[in-house]
Amino acid sequence: MSKRILVVEDEVQIARVLKLELEYEGYDVLVEHDGKSGLEVALHANLDLILLDVMLPELSGIEMLRRLRKAEVNIPVILLTARNTTLDKVMGLDQGANDYVTKPFEIEELLARVRSCIRHNTLSVKSSNETPLLSIADLVINTETREVARSGISISLTPKEYDLLVYLLTNKNKIVTREGILMHVWGYEYEGETNVIDVYIRHLRKKIDEEFSPPLIQTIRGVGYAIREN
């Protein structure tokens, strides 16, 4: 069965090109031109991926994404943005985006990101079905319900924080490199500032280590990170 992609893009010509290119690759494509109608489709259609422009009429792409995640709709989202600052990228990822592409973009790069994002999500679902619980010490993740708790206390994580924690726990007691984190959590070979990892590690530490003992996330200087009990 073909994977179904929703394109939410207000520039008609760009939307048309994306639809043609994606359909040529074998995807089933839906198109909306504003955030309000895009949100309606995303909430009710059976989708595998959303390509979401940030600057949209009616409802911005970031606000549409925020409402989707608030409604616990975890469809992978790739943001299409003309902005190119670390702050804008981090804001989008913090709202639950899985990836982003900066305009203007090469269509082959976008298609590669689409394939990677869908593949990563498929593997995550498969992994969740096979191993619903991940744990270390008193930290437990239920990958079926995406619930995270430490010492029985529920912890709220953003989608990207959750993905990062799952990757660390999947490799518990092992050192994971920054390159490995970027590839497996962001789903592609990142070609920009890597301090986004530091931002997310800092957020995770504040949520799962700051109020608990012992601290679990360790920095391996010059290499990467590890999650372990000592």
The pTM assigned to this predicted structure is: 0.57
CA end-to-end span of the chain: 47
- Shared domain for 106 and 64, answered yes or no, is yes
- Shared domain for 99 and 172, answered yes or no, is no
Looking at beta carbons, which pairs linking 11-16 to residues 24 or more positions away fall under 8 Å?
11/53
Please tell me the predicted confidence (pLDDT) of residue 45.
84
- Shared domain for 17 and 121, answered yes or no, is yes
**Which of the listed residues 102, 126, 150 is the one where a domain comes to its end?**
126
**Which of the listed residues 98, 126, 154 is the one where a domain comes to its end?**
126
The CATH number assigned to the domain holding 164 equals 1.10.10.10
- Shared domain for 87 and 122, answered yes or no, is yes
The CATH number assigned to the domain holding 76 equals 3.40.50.2300
- b/e for 137-165, b at 16 or more Cβ within 10 A? bebbbebeeeebebeeeebebbbbbbbbb
- Shared domain for 9 and 120, answered yes or no, is yes
Please tell me the predicted confidence (pLDDT) of residue 191.
56
Bridge partners (DSSP) of residue 31 are 7
- Shared domain for 27 and 115, answered yes or no, is yes
Q: Is 58 left (phi over 0), alpha (psi -120 to 50) or beta?
A: left
- Shared domain for 119 and 138, answered yes or no, is no
- Shared domain for 11 and 69, answered yes or no, is yes
Please tell me the predicted confidence (pLDDT) of residue 138.
92
The total number of structural domains that make up the chain: 2
What strand order describes the sheet that includes 139-142? 133-136, 139-142, 147-150, 153-155
- Shared domain for 153 and 67, answered yes or no, is no
Task: Print the domain residue range for 74.
Answer: 4-126
**Which of the listed residues 126, 151, 183 is the one where a domain comes to its end?**
126
- Shared domain for 154 and 114, answered yes or no, is no
Contact 150, 139 (CB under 8 A): yes
Q: Identify the helix (H) or strand (E) that includes residue 43.
A: helix 35-44
- Shared domain for 122 and 135, answered yes or no, is no
Tell me, what DSSP letter sits at residue 96? T
- DSSP per-residue letters across 166-226: HHHHHTTTS-EEHHHHHHHHSSS---S-THHHHHHHHHHHHHHTTTSSS--EEEETTTEEE
Give the span between the Cα atoms of 118 and 63, in whole angstroms: 23
Torsion of CA 221, 157, 103, 7, to 10 degrees: 150
Contact 136, 172 (CB under 8 A): yes
Q: CA angle, 149 as apex, 146 and 153 as ends, to 5°?
A: 135
Per-residue pLDDT of the chain (230 residues; tens, 9 = 90+): 688 999 999 999 999 999 999 999 999 999 999 999 999 999 888 888 999 998 899 898 889 998 988 887 888 899 888 766 666 667 777 778 888 888 888 899 889 888 888 877 665 555 545 557 889 999 999 887 889 999 999 999 988 899 899 999 988 989 988 888 887 787 654 555 667 888 899 999 999 999 898 999 999 988 889 999 86
- Shared domain for 189 and 86, answered yes or no, is no
Give the span between the Cα atoms of 195 and 42, in whole angstroms: 31
How many CB atoms neighbour CB 224 within 10 A? 19
